[in-house]
Structure 1
């Protein structure tokens, strides 16, 4: 007579019993679809969702080419290593670009693990590639004057574009953040602008000084009332789209004949950081205004642009008394 089974399962048997069926059946396409649907439910920015679709979609194509997309649960760490090797050796991508893809893939597998669609996360503690931070492009004061003198402020679009570029320079806000600003977010009496469309979903106020307040006051007076609540609008009164705002700095940079630097909203953000650091801004103030969730990028700005070290070098230079 066989021994009666113990009704209580051991730990290994419990794992088997409670393992979701999806562990063995979910394909890459199904997993990818679930991830994007979850991102939409959580209200992630359209720009972020597009980023995930692009980067994870490219990873999915590689999985299909390697016959590894049928079951997402069978993707292991060695496959991630192979994908990185492919990007480096066959595609010739730089480490920074590869890291952009790895961050998206990490979010993807993190979601699958948290949702219990996979038992093991191949991206768990996966290190990003070392990427040297090169010189961050910024505008010189001369280039800033050329850029800001380029719009024809006798036209509505010129006045609008000048105000937009001045606001980017004054506050260092991101393009996507500027796109989301409403008229009601401009608090002239308080000297702040409310930023609602943030990268990390933490709303914040950014300070503006007298020149910026006066320029916004002029623009708002000319803008008048229209159906859209957006701060920056077209001639038809429609809100300016991200793609249109993206092109403004480049258009006027080209018109002003600016060379040797990429004319973009992000370059104005870098320029804000540079001038702020050179004028004595601290890391905590800079982090709060720029809306960085960590100190990493702020420290890079300080290391690159702080003038203190150069001033102190005059005092301790080994050649001083030779």
Structure 2
């Protein structure tokens, strides 16, 4: 039998001070505590922005329901109605709704575990079942068009080309690329150190001769400046994530690419596709991509592996059928 914790926390302390009934906790107070805790845990800035944005979306719903002034009044039915509103009135996709539910679930789990609320309306609340769509990737023709779009006679063109090539070579995420420092480029070892990861596990990703040559060229052009960030602006300040988000779309439009979303994540999917088609195994792919589980890696392998197609040539039921 486990022992109970000796130190009192959250609402347990309120019991001593007899303040529970005097002043109920408002949603804004609860969100403030949650964000402070996220900052104390040194979560990524992008993650904190995500929590704040999605929780404030739920706040707008609570404002309409007149439940902002007492977080304890939020019950499971409110979550149901919130989802109905998002699906029916706002016409949001299931994936978008799940993104919001994950943030709200994290908020209420924090409040419940910290004894700030007596009941957790998100406890074991299921996410919506999403239909898995096709994984969008660039064709080889589109990829060549995209990479030929930057003006290589300009610093910005060389910088953006380097960034896009790095995405294709390593499959790194947008946030990971935005967090790269000059010292993370290990040309002698043929690798890039990824420090700003999704799961907080640092990793090295390999790079080959073409990528090393482009990085060496870019680093020479970049020179030294006050910021340590790898990718910089003409003012020699760090290139922000929001600006990097627009790079692929900008060159996709310039190259006239149609029928596929031009984004950093499409480059990541393209890396996975080309790697699988070139014989990469699931374990190598998982390590390079930084996935904590095999789920997404198996999706890539199932979609893009040539192995089944090649073996089917030998056992096709129609192979020896004369008709």
User: Do Structure 1 and Structure 2 share a fold, with TM-score over 0.5?
Assistant: yes
CA displacement at 1:235 relative to structure 2:
1.8
Q: Structure 1 residues 315, 68: CA separation in 2 closer, same or farther (over 3 Å shift)?
A: farther
CA displacement at 1:23 relative to structure 2:
6.4
Mapped partners of 2:97, 2:116: distance in 1: 25
Mapped partners of 2:46, 2:284: distance in 1: 27
| Aligned pairs for 1:5-84 within 5 A | 20-21=14-15, 25-84=24-83
Partner residue of 1:120?
119
Partner residue of 1:6?
none
| Aligned pairs for 1:121-136 within 5 A | 121-136=120-135
Partner residue of 1:245?
244
Q: Secondary structure at the match of 1:88?
A: helix
Partner residue of 1:215?
214
Mapped partners of 2:20, 2:164: distance in 1: 50
Q: Are the equivalent residues in 1 in contact too, given 2:95–2:130 (CA < 8 A)? A: yes
CA displacement at 1:130 relative to structure 2:
0.8
Unaligned runs of 5+ in 2: 1-10
1:207-227 alpha-carbon deviations (Å, 9 max, x no partner): 111111111111111221112
CA displacement at 1:264 relative to structure 2:
1.2
Mapped partners of 1:280, 1:177: distance in 2: 25
Q: Structure 1 residues 23, 208: CA separation in 2 closer, same or farther (over 3 Å shift)?
A: farther
Q: Are the equivalent residues in 1 in contact too, given 2:12–2:115 (CA < 8 A)? A: no
Bigger drift between 260-269 and 76-85 goes to 76-85
1:20-48 alpha-carbon deviations (Å, 9 max, x no partner): 55766212111111111111121111111
TM-score, normalization by structure 1 = 0.90
1:234 aligns to 2:233 (yes or no): yes
Q: Are the equivalent residues in 2 in contact too, given 1:23–1:119 (CA < 8 A)? A: no
Q: Structure 1 residues 184, 19: CA separation in 2 closer, same or farther (over 3 Å shift)?
A: closer
Partner residue of 2:85?
86
Mapped partners of 2:302, 2:81: distance in 1: 35
Partner residue of 2:185?
186
Partner residue of 2:200?
201
Partner residue of 1:172?
171
CA displacement at 1:204 relative to structure 2:
1.1
1:179-238 alpha-carbon deviations (Å, 9 max, x no partner): 111111000111110111112211111111111111111111122111211111122221
Mapped partners of 1:215, 1:277: distance in 2: 24
1:95-125 alpha-carbon deviations (Å, 9 max, x no partner): 1111111111111111111211112222122
Unaligned runs of 5+ in 1: 1-16
1:275 aligns to 2:274 (yes or no): yes
Partner residue of 1:7?
none
Partner residue of 2:316?
317
1:65-115 alpha-carbon deviations (Å, 9 max, x no partner): 122332212322222122112211222211111111111111111111121
CA displacement at 1:19 relative to structure 2:
8.1
RMSD over aligned Cα, in angstroms? 1.8
Partner residue of 2:109?
110
Mapped partners of 1:59, 1:207: distance in 2: 42
Q: Are the equivalent residues in 2 in contact too, given 1:20–1:117 (CA < 8 A)? A: no
Mapped partners of 1:321, 1:63: distance in 2: 67
Mapped partners of 1:254, 1:145: distance in 2: 14
Mapped partners of 1:227, 1:44: distance in 2: 25
Q: Secondary structure at the match of 1:292?
A: coil
TM-score, normalization by structure 2 = 0.90
Mapped partners of 1:41, 1:118: distance in 2: 21
Mapped partners of 1:280, 1:20: distance in 2: 60
Bigger drift between 64-73 and 110-119 goes to 64-73
1:168-189 alpha-carbon deviations (Å, 9 max, x no partner): 1101111111111111100011
Q: Are the equivalent residues in 1 in contact too, given 2:138–2:260 (CA < 8 A)? A: yes
